Structure 1
Amino acid sequence: MAAEQSEREDKYDVSLDFEVPALEELTPKQGREDIDTIRLDSVYFDTADHDLLRHHLTLRRRSGDDDLGWHLKVPAGDARTEVRLPPTGDESVPDELAHAVVGVALGKPLLRVASLSTVRRRHRVVDSAGNLLAELADDSVRATATADNGGAIASQWREVEVELGDHGDEQMLRAIGERLVRSGAHTSSYASKLARALAIEPQRSDADTRSPARRALTDYLDTQIDEIVAGDVWLRRGLDPIHATRVAIRRFRSTLRVFKDLVDPDARSTLEAELVWYAGLLGEVRDRQVQRHRLGELVAGLPVELVMGPVAARIEQDLLGEQQRALTAVMSALDDARYRALLATLAQWRTAPPLTIEPDAGPKVIKKAVKRAGRKARKRLTTAVADSDAAELHRARKAGKRARYAAELATPLLGGKAAKKVSEFKHLQKVLGEHQDSGVAADNLRALGARAGVTEGENGFTFGLLYALELEHARQARAEAARLVR
C-alpha cells in the first residue's frame, strides 16, 4: 500500500554560475545548515499526449542515492500530495499507481517520456534538535526526453528548489526565497522538471501577463480544476474527496455565471452542463453524508428516555445504504466516456481558456462583476426574507455563494475590500445553509418516521420529536437571515 505525504516547495531558475547564498543567519539559535551532495536518477511516465502533465500530475521512478521508489505527485492547493511506493525491479508502472491515474490519462497507456540525472547539493536548515525546517536543493540537471515527433530532446540546466520541512513554516520559505532573489534567482517559469525537459512552454500566456484581470480568472479556474482532478485520483484510491470536489465544481460554475460576459457563451454553456451532471452525482453522496452526521448528532443530544426504539440505527442504516448506492453510481461514471470527455475539456481550458476578456483588461471588469453579484445576492435575500419562502431562501443562498466566490477570485486584485465581501457572504451562506439543511433533514425524518411506524419493534415518536426540532432550527435560521437585511 502506498504512503502519502504533503510537499510544499518553491522553484527558482538560476544561471550555471549562480552562487547559493549562505543560510546560517536564517537558522534558529543553536540550529545549523547541513550541506551534502547526492545523485538522483528519475524516469518519468505519462501518456503520449502528456495528459498527466497538463493536469499538473507527475509520475516517476527514482533511483540513486536518496528518495528511492515510485512517486506520484498530485496538486493540493499551494502544495502537492506525494503518493509513494517502494522501488520495484523494473520500469513497469505499479498497478496501484496506474489505476490512480487512469482517469487523468483518459485511458491511454503510460509511456516513458523522459529521463533526468540530477546532481543535488542539499542545504538543510535544522533546529537545535535536528528537526528539518527547510531544504534548499541546488540541482544541476541533465535530461533526455521524447519529442512529439518521436525524436530525442537533450537539455541541461540548473535550478533551485526550496522545500518546507516538517517543522518549518511559510515565513522560513519566504525568507530563503527573498535571499535567493536578491542573489539573482528568478521564480521558475516551469511547473516541474518534466515540463522543462519536454520543452513545453509555460502555460502563462502573454495575455495573462498583460492583463491582471485575465490572470485572476485563469488562476482561479486552474485552482478548481486542480481540485477536481485530485478528486478523481483520490476516489480511485478509495478515499473521500466528495465534498472538496463538489465545492471546486461549484466555484467553477459560479465563475462561469458571474463572469459570463468574459467567457465564450457556447463553451461556457457546454462545460457548465457537464459540470452540473457530475456535481449532481457527487451531491447524491454528499447529501447523505451531511444528513447522517446531522441526524446522528441530533439523536445523541436527546435525553435517553426520549429515544424510543433503534432510532440511530434506522438513520444510519437507511442513509448509509442510499449513500453507498450513490457512490456506486459515481464510481461507474468515472469510467464513462462522458466523464473522460469532461476531463479532456477541463485540460483544454487550462491551456486555451475560451475567454473573451480584452488582452489588456484591468481590475475594473472584475470589480464590476463582483459588485453585480453582491447586489443580486442582497436583493434575493431581501425578497426571500419578506416572503419567508423556502425556495426563495435557497435561491438567495446560491446567489450568496456566487457573490462569495467572485470576491474570492477578486481578492488578489482588489485586496481588503474583496476579502471583506468574502467574509460577509460566507456568513450569509452559512445561515441560509442551515435553513436548507434543516428542511432536508425534516423531509428525511418524516420518511424515516413513516417507515419506523410500520416496522415491528419501532415507532415514530422520536422521529416526530426530531422533526419538530428541525422545524425550530429552520425558524431560527429564517430569523437570523432577517437580521442580515436590517
Structure 2
Amino acid sequence: MKDVVERETKWEVDREFTLPPIDDIVPGGRVEETSVELTSTYFDTTAHDLLTHDLTLRRRAGDDESGWQLKVPQADGRVELVADWSDDMPSELADVVTGAALGQQLRAITTIHTLRNRHRLLGPDGDLVLELDDDVVRTTPVDADADALAWREIEVELGPHTDAVPALLVDRLAEAGASRAQYPSKLARAVPKPGAPVPASKAERAIRDYLTAQIDTIFAGDVALRRGEDPIHDTRVATRRLRSTLRVFGTVLDRSAVDGIADELKWYAGLLGAVRDCQVQRSRLAAQVGALPPELVLGPVAARIETTLLERQLAARAVLAEAMDSPRYLALLAALQSWKPEPPFAIRSRKRELVRRARRAARKADKRLAEAMRTGRDDSLHRARKAAKRARYAAELHRPVRKRAEAKSNIKYYKRLQRVLGDHNDGVVSAEFLWRTATAAGTAQGENGFTYGLLYANEKHAAERARTAVAAVARRR
C-alpha cells in the first residue's frame, strides 16, 4: 500500500462547454493529452458513515488506475491510500476505516463511470505542473430506489510542486462558463449527505458546532491512529473538550442519551494519556540530560530513561490499539456519531444560559486555584488545572454567541493558567519517575544514582518555579 497526496479543485460545466486554450498556461511547457475510461465502485455502510467523515473507499478499473483507493482528508487536500486490484477488499484499507464505519459491514453503494479526457501540463523540465481532466460522468446506483445521474465536470489536480491553480487558468475556465463545483467529489454528488436539522437558537448552534468539532477530531484521530500516525495529543484534547462540555452544559442535554458517555470519554482519554505522558516525559528528560555538563552524566542515564519510557509507551500503544477494536470503543463512536446531525437537547438553550454556566465553571476554577494556593498540595494544584481547562473550554463554546470580550479574556487567562499548572504537573511527574529510576540504577552494575538525583532536584526546582508562576498569573487576573 502506498500514499499519494491529492490536491484538486472541481468545476461545473454544461454539456456544450468548450475547453479554453491551455497550451500556454505553463510558459515553455507542453501538454500531453490522453483518454481513459474509469469504472469506480464505492463502498460504505448502509448509513453512509464513511461519507459522513469525507472518507472515500472505492475499487477502480481503468487503464492506469486500476486498484483500491481510500481517500482521507487532510489539511492541504486528501491523501490517497492505494492498494493493488483484488476482488476482495484489502484488509489494510478496511482496517483503517473500522472506527469510521463503527465496526459495520461495508457494501457497494454506487458505481460511477467516467470518460476522462486527460490533459497533463508539463513544465520545461518535464515535471508535472498540473493535470486537467475533462470528465463525462454517469452513475449506476446499487439501490433500486436511487436515481441514475449524468453530468460533465472539469477537475484540476495540482502537481507535487505546484502551490495553486494558475490564475490564468482560473480566469479562462470562468470566462468559458465554468463555475466552482458545489460538491467536493463525484461521490458526494451521486450520494449527497442528508441535510442536518437547523438548530432552534444560536446557543444550540454553538453547542452543536463545538460538539461536532470535537467529534470530527476524534474520528480523524481514529483514522490516523489506524494508519500508524501520531494524533495522540489532538485526539486526547478533543475527548477532554467533549467531556468538559457534557459536564458544564450537561443540563441542556437529554440525560438518557448522554448518561455514561462522559465516563467512556474519560476511559478513552486515559488510554490516550498513557501514551502521551510517555511521549512528553521522553522529550522533557532527554532535553534535561542533554543540558547537563558531560562530566555530570555518570553512566547510561539517557539510554535507561529512553528505554524505560519507550517500553511503557509501546505497551500503552498496544493496549490502545486493542481497545480501539473493542465493542466498548465502537459503541462510544456510535454514540458520538449519532450526535453529529443533531445533539440530544433536552430543553431549548439560550445564549444567557451558556454564559451563566461558563461563568459558573470560571468561579469553580478560581475557587479550586485559591484552595491550591492556600494548601500548596500537588493534588490540589492538579485539580485546579483540570478546573481551569473546563473554564477555558466553556469560554470557547460560548464565545461565538454572547459576551465575546469576556469569553476571549477568560480563554486567554485560563489557557495561561493551564500552561503553568501543566509545567508544575510535568515537574512532579518527572521527579517521581526519576526517583523510581534512580532506585533501580543505583543497584545496577556500572550505574549509580548521582545523575538521577541531580535531575530529580532540577525537576523539583522546576515544579517550584511553576508554582511561583501560578501565583503570578493569578495576581494578574
TM-score category by the smaller chain?
0.7 to 0.9
Cα shift readout 1:247-296 (whole Å, capped 9, x = no counterpart): 22122212222322332223223211111112112211211121122112
State the one-letter code of the partner of 1:455: A
1:33-48 equivalences in 2 (<5 Å): 40-48=38-46
In 1, the alpha carbon distance for the partners of 2:131 and 2:402 equals 34
The amino acid across from 2:393 in the alignment is Y
Which one is further off, 346-355 or 2-11? 2-11
Aligned to 1:391: 379
For 2:207 and 2:400, locate their aligned partners in 1 and report how far apart those are by CA, in whole Å: 11
C-alpha distance 218-452 of structure 1, shift in aligned 2 (>3 A): same
Q: Deviations over 1:174-223 (max 9, x none)?
A: x979x97xx896873x665334423x543422x24x64433333333223
SS for the counterpart of 2:229 is coil
Q: Residue 204 of structure 1 aligns with which residue?
A: 196
Are the equivalent residues in 2 in contact too, given 1:31–1:130 (CA < 8 A)? no
What does 1:425-436 correspond to in 2, within 5 Å? Answer: 425-436=414-425
Match of 2:450 in 1: 461
Of the three residues 248, 255, 259, the one matched with 1:269 is: 259
Shift in alpha-carbon separation, 1:160–1:184, aligned structure 2, 3 A: closer
Find the counterpart in structure 2 of residue 437 from structure 1.
426
| Contact kept in structure 1, 2:59 and 2:69, CA below 8 Å | yes
- Check 1:334–1:165 CA distance in 2 against 1; reply closer, same or farther (3 A cut): same
Give how far 1:234 is off. 3.0
Q: Name the CA distance, whole Å, in 1 between partners of 2:351 and 2:117.
A: 42
User: Do the aligned partners of residues 249 and 78 (structure 1) sit closer, same or farther apart at CA in structure 2, a change above 3 Å counting?
Assistant: farther
Contact 2:158 2:165 in 1 (8 A): no
Equivalent position of 1:260 in the other structure: 250
Q: Report deviation, 1:305.
A: 1.5
Q: 1:47 to 1:281 in 2, by over 3 A?
A: same
Match of 1:329 in 2: 319
Structure 2 residue aligned with 1:102: 98
- Mapping of residues 217-296 of structure 1, within 5 Å: 217-296=207-286
Work out whether 1:343 is the aligned partner of 2:333.
yes
- Distance in structure 2 (CA, Å) of the matches to 1:372 and 1:32: 64
Structure 1: which amino acid aligns with 2:293? P
Find the aligned partners of 1:341 and 1:384 in 2 and give their Cα distance. Answer: 37
**Which is higher, the Rg of structure 1 or of structure 2?**
2
Alignment of 1:310-321 (within 5 A): 310-321=300-311
Query: Which residue does the alignment assign to 1:4?
Result: 3
Q: Are 2:154 and 1:154 equivalent residues in the alignment?
A: no
TM-score of the pair, normalised by structure 2: 0.81
Q: How far apart in 2 are the matches of 1:170 and 1:408?
A: 33
User: Residue 258 of structure 1 contacts residue 373 of structure 1 at CA under 8 Å; is this kept in 2?
Assistant: yes
Q: Give the direction of change, closer, same or farther, for the CA distance of 1:36–1:476 in structure 2 (3 Å limit).
A: farther
1:144 aligned to 2:140? yes
CA distance, structure 2, for counterparts of residue 376 and residue 392 of structure 1 = 13
d(CA) in 2 for partners of 1:380 and 1:18?
69
Q: Distance in 1 between matches of 2:447 and 2:150?
A: 73
Cα pair 2:393 2:411 within 8 Å, conserved: yes
Equivalent of 2:467, from 451, 471, 478?
Answer: 478
The whole-number CA distance in structure 2 between the counterparts of 1:130 and 1:204 is: 47
Q: Which region of structure 1 is more displaced relative to structure 2, 48-57 or 291-300?
A: 48-57
- Whole-Å Cα distance in 1 between the matches of residues 251 and 159 of structure 2? 44
Deviation for aligned residue 1:125: 9.7
Is the alpha carbon distance of 1:119 and 1:393 closer, same or farther for their aligned partners in structure 2, counting shifts above 3 Å?
Answer: farther
Structure 1 unpaired stretches of 5+ = none
C-alpha spacing 1:431/1:414, structure 2 compared with 1 (3 Å): same
Q: Is the 8 A contact 1:54 1:347 kept in 2?
A: no
Q: 1:139: Cα distance to partner?
A: 5.6
Partner amino acid, structure 1, of 2:444: T
Aligned-partner residue type, residue 476 of structure 1: R
CA shift in 2, pair 1:362/1:122, >3 Å: farther
What is the CA–CA distance in structure 2 between the aligned matches of 1:145 and 1:472, rounded to whole Å?
67
Determine the C-alpha separation between the residues in 2 that align with 1:184 and 1:211.
37
Name the SS for the 1:259 alignment partner: helix
With over 3 angstroms needed to count, the CA separation of the structure-2 counterparts of 1:34 and 1:372, relative to structure 1, is farther
Secondary structure of the equivalent of 2:70?
strand
Distance 1:437 1:170, change over 3 A: farther
Identity, in percent, stands at 48
1:112 paired with 2:101, answer no
Paired residue secondary structure (1:485):
helix
Aligned partner of 2:380: which letter?
E
Alpha carbons 1:76, 1:227 under 8 Å: kept:
no
The one-letter code matched in structure 1 to 2:42 is Y
| Structure 1 residues 435 and 5, CA gap change in structure 2 (3 angstroms) | farther
Q: Does 1:216 align with 2:206?
A: yes
Give 1:154's aligned amino acid: A
